Amino acid sequence: QVQLVESGGGLVQTGDSLRLSCAASGRTFSSYAMAWFRQAPGKEREFVAVSRWSGGMTAYADSVKGRFTISRDNAKNTVYLQMNSLKPEDTAVYYCAADPVYRGTYPNEYGYWGQGTQVTVSS
């Protein structure tokens, strides 16, 4: 059983930075792919970033590339999403996801999810 808990969301202004955290249970964290997704009201859940393993292989959605950075601290079973130069279109509930097998960008393939944390970016 794996549990994920996101934190760090909040209300910020355009251009501000925010760092999200996702704390995970389990001692096999380092072997899991860890990903961030987001979902705005009325929209589909959208891939943001993925860390495919502890060696640092990462991938990003085009919409956030160059602004967001995913990282992980395996000793703390925590994955982070550093968000810089935030825009109003980044407003969404951000979800952490993990899976021991799937390492891609399709949300329905991830087996474990957190409850989400709200990020709101004002103009």
Query: CA-CA distance, 84 to 78, in Å (whole number)?
Result: 19
* pLDDT at residue 18 in the model: 98
Query: CA-CA distance, 104 to 94, in Å (whole number)?
Result: 17
* pLDDT at residue 40 in the model: 97
Q: What DSSP designation does 29 have?
A: G
Query: CA-CA distance, 56 to 14, in Å (whole number)?
Result: 29
* pLDDT at residue 21 in the model: 98
Distance of CA 73 to CAs 11, 49, 68, Å? Answer: 25, 16, 17
Q: Tell me the two tokens of residue 113.
A: 């999810």
Give me the amino acid identity at 118.
Answer: Q
Query: For the chain, what is the total number of helices (H) and then of strands (E)?
Result: 0, 11
Q: What DSSP designation does 28 have?
A: T
* pLDDT at residue 12 in the model: 98
* pLDDT at residue 28 in the model: 62
Give me the amino acid identity at 97.
Answer: A
* pLDDT at residue 25 in the model: 85
Running along the chain, 123 residues long, what does each successive block of 10 average in pLDDT? 92 98 80 93 96 80 97 88 98 95 89 96 95
